[in-house]
Amino acid sequence: MQRFLKHHLSPFKLQIGVCLILFTLLGLFALANPQTFLSLRIYTAFMSTIPFTAILALGLTFLIIAGELDLAFPSVMAFSGFVFALVYTRLGSPAGALLLSLVAGAMAGLINGLIVVTVGVPSIIATIGMQFFWRGLTTLLASGLAINLVSIRGTWLHPLMAGRIGGVLPVQALWCLGLAVFFWLMLNRHVFGDNLRFVGDDIKTAHMMGIDTNFTRVMLFTLMGLVSALVAVMVCLEMANWWPTQGEGYLLIVFASIFIGGTSVFGGEGTIFGTVVGACIIGIIEAGIISAGLSGFWTRLVYGLIIVLSVSIYARVLKIRRISF
């Protein structure tokens, strides 16, 4: 078994394997329900929802490569989405609402990062606490009430961030593609990507090499807050509404997307391409399960299995690689 994993599960082949999983699932679902999965409508729906998960997963991939976790991003989504909705309903300015929402998300991420880096609280503990904080603060400010944003569909911002090109292609899919290219370039063609890997592999060694590890980690949390705010705005525009529970439900599927895509839970290595493909896999599973005639309750069970199996396989691969070196 070890020999098989060592010789057959190289990073490139792992990505090929993830793509094969995606196409295999699409084939199986098409056989189970051809009327649904051979229709353009279902893929238009996928392109309107999967980008939200994928964009969040892109930001979190950077953090995981650096050896950190952020469990607060769903609540940061709710907070920054509330800022967007509040500013727009009070001032009627889409540009001002977008700008202040992004600033709020970045500041929330910055605060999360400072708690982890300067105070020294492990990121998993700090962000669990901040998840409750941002959610509680948002609920208090909103008095637990949703905010209607139907009028924003008549502004220039809606077609820019959540419109349909030709009435078919969701704009958020293009945003996702552009951000994926940007993150890929940052990870693979910029010194910042090398810094991430060094920090995630061994933070003490990275510090000795002259990398400002504290600044890098704080910037990653800030970036995650910014990404969360961007997705929150897109969701508000897509749904023409903001609600206090916005962001709930994304935590599990975002982590599943990242780990099935090939990013190591131990830090030090990851893949943007795999994350995007992983988000596509996670995005089609629920529709496939329901179209196959099974209960939607199977979805979380499958998500859990995916996370455990993918993390276990990659952990095994990483262990064998270290032994081989």
Residues 78 and 108 in one domain: yes
Going by pLDDT thresholds of 50, 70 and 90, the confidence category of residue 240 is very high
**Number of helical (H) and strand (E) elements in the chain, helices listed first:** 15, 4
132 in any annotated domain: yes
Q: Which of 29-33, 34-38, 132-136, 305-309 has the highest mean pLDDT?
A: 132-136
Identify whether residues 94 and 127 lie together within a single domain: yes
User: H or E element: which one contains 241?
Assistant: strand 241-242
- Boundary (domain end) residue, out of 247, 264, 297: 247
Is there a domain that residue 151 lies in? yes
Confidence of residue 309 (pLDDT cuts 50, 70, 90): confident
Q: Do the domain assignments include residue 177?
A: no
Q: Is residue 123 part of a domain?
A: yes
Residue 163 shares a structural domain with residue 107: yes
205 within a domain of the structure (yes/no): yes
The tokens describing 95, both together, are 């540009």
Q: 221 and 78, same structural domain?
A: yes
Q: Is 294 in the same domain as 325?
A: yes
Mean pLDDT of 211-237: 97
* 166 and 240 together in one domain: yes
Identify whether residues 242 and 284 lie together within a single domain: no
DSSP annotation of 158 reads H
Domain, as residue range, for 8: 1-38+249-325
Angstrom distances, CA of residue 260 to CA of 15, 72, 207, 303: 10, 21, 30, 10
Please state, rounded to an integer, the average pLDDT across all residues of the chain: 88
Last residue of a domain, one of 217, 247, 277: 247
Domain boundary among 226, 247, 268: 247
Dihedral-angle region of residue 67 (phi above 0 means left; psi in -120 to 50 means alpha; beta otherwise): left
If asked whether residues 137 and 260 sit together in one domain, one would say no
Q: To 10 degrees, what angle do helices 94-114 and 213-239 make?
A: 140
Residue 264 identity (one-letter amino acid): S
User: Is there a single domain that holds both residue 226 and residue 88?
Assistant: yes
* Residue 198, domain member (yes or no): yes
pLDDT of 4 > 80? The answer is no
Q: What is the pLDDT of residue 318?
A: 57
Per-residue pLDDT at 249 exceeds 90? no
Do 70 and 213 fall into the same domain? Answer: yes
Pair (154, 19) in one structural domain: no
* pLDDT at residue 305, rounded to an integer: 80
Quick one: pLDDT band at residue 40, thresholds 50, 70, 90?
Answer: confident
Give pLDDT, residue 2: 44
**Is 135 among the domain residues?**
yes
How many domains does the chain fold into? 2
Given a contact cutoff of 8 angstroms between Cβ atoms, the answer to whether 307 and 256 are in contact is yes
Q: 278 lies in a domain?
A: yes
pLDDT tens for each residue of 66-99: 999 999 999 999 999 999 999 999 999 999 999 9
C-alpha span between 320 and 323 (Å, rounded):
5
- Say what the pLDDT of residue 325 is: 46
97 shares its domain with 218:
yes
Q: Which two tokens stand for residue 59?
A: 């930001």
Q: What percent of the chain has pLDDT over 90?
A: 66
Q: Is 211 helix (H, G, I), strand (E, B) or coil?
A: coil
